[in-house]
């Protein structure tokens, strides 16, 4: 078993001055913590893997392909591989668990 605490992951991510911290990588998936602060631009481009976002805290809009929705704590969003997607109109600091399958390369 591998177990993690969100507060410890957030501290490690912040200490490394990065928006993304991959903390688990296995044969069929990887998991990371993604952080964007209120008002910040999301620099993402499409990935070669399917993704699932689980919003842990914050509020924003997310556009996946041609669809846009509001997200907040407890929201879950699926992004198919190769699809353009961005968080925007971030009104509260956003912390998101990201699951990639297969693992992010």
Q: What is the pLDDT of residues 5-16, one digit of tens each?
A: 999 999 999 999
Contact criterion met (CB below 8 Å) for 84 and 47: no
Tell me the domain boundaries of the chain: 6-101
pLDDT at 105: 77
pLDDT at 27 over 90: yes
Instruction: Look up the pTM and report it.
Output: 0.94
Residues 30-62: pLDDT tens digits? Answer: 999 999 999 999 999 999 999 999 999 999 999
pLDDT at 26: 97
Contact criterion met (CB below 8 Å) for 37 and 93: yes
Spelled out in words, what is the top-level CATH class assigned to the domain 6-101? mainly beta
pLDDT at 20: 96
- SS3 letters across 27-74: CCCEEEEEEECCCCCCCCCCCCCEEEEEEEEEEEEEEECCEEEEEECC
Q: How far apart are CA 32 and CA 38, in angstroms?
A: 20
């Amino acid at each position: 078993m591998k177990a993690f605490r969100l507060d410890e992951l957030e501290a490690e991510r912040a200490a490394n001055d990065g928006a993304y911290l991959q903390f688990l990588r296995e044969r069929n998936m990887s998991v990371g913590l993604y952080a964007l602060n209120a008002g910040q631009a999301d620099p993402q481009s499409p990935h070669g893997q399917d993704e699932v976002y689980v919003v842990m805290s914050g509020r924003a809009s997310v556009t996946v392909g041609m669809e846009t929705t509001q997200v907040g704590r407890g929201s879950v969003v699926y992004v198919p591989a190769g699809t353009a997607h961005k968080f925007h109109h971030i009104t509260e600091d956003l912390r998101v668990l990201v699951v990639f399958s297969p693992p992010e390369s």
